[in-house]
Amino acid sequence: MKHLFIKILSAAVILIGNQLQAQTFNNLFRTKDRQENREGMDLEKFSYGFYLAGNNFDYKMVLNPRYGMDGNRNLVESKSTYSFGAGLIGKMRLNYYLDLRIEPGLHFVQRDLTFNTFDYINDPTNDPYFPDGTTTNPPFIPLTPSDVDKKRIVKSTYVDVPILLEIHGDRWYNSRPYAAVGVNYLMNLQSNETSEGDNSVNTFRTTTHNFGWSAELGIQFYFSRFKLTPAVRGTFFTNNELVQDKSTTPPYWTPAISTMQSRAFMLVLKFE
| Per-position pLDDT tens, the chain of length 272 | 445 445 555 555 455 555 545 554 454 334 445 567 766 777 889 999 999 999 999 999 999 999 999 989 999 999 988 999 999 999 999 998 999 999 999 999 999 999 999 999 998 888 878 888 877 778 888 888 888 999 999 999 999 999 999 999 888 888 899 999 999 999 999 999 999 999 999 999 999 999 999 999 999 998 888 899 999 999 999 999 999 999 889 999 999 999 999 999 999 999 99
pTM as predicted: 0.83
List the one residue out of 59, 165, 53, 68 whose CA is nearest residue 117. Answer: 68
Question: What's the one-letter identity of residue 66?
Answer: R
- Residue 42: strand, helix, or coil: helix
List the one residue out of 244, 151, 129, 256 whose CA is nearest residue 193. Answer: 244
Q: Report residue 249 CA to chain centroid gap.
A: 30
Please report the domains of the chain, with CATH numbers, ordered by start residue: 44-115+152-271 (2.40.160.20)
If one counts every other C-beta atom within 10 angstroms of the C-beta of residue 173, the result is 16
Count Cβ neighbours within 10 Å for each residue of 253-269 and write b for 16 or more, e otherwise: bbbbbbebbbebebebb
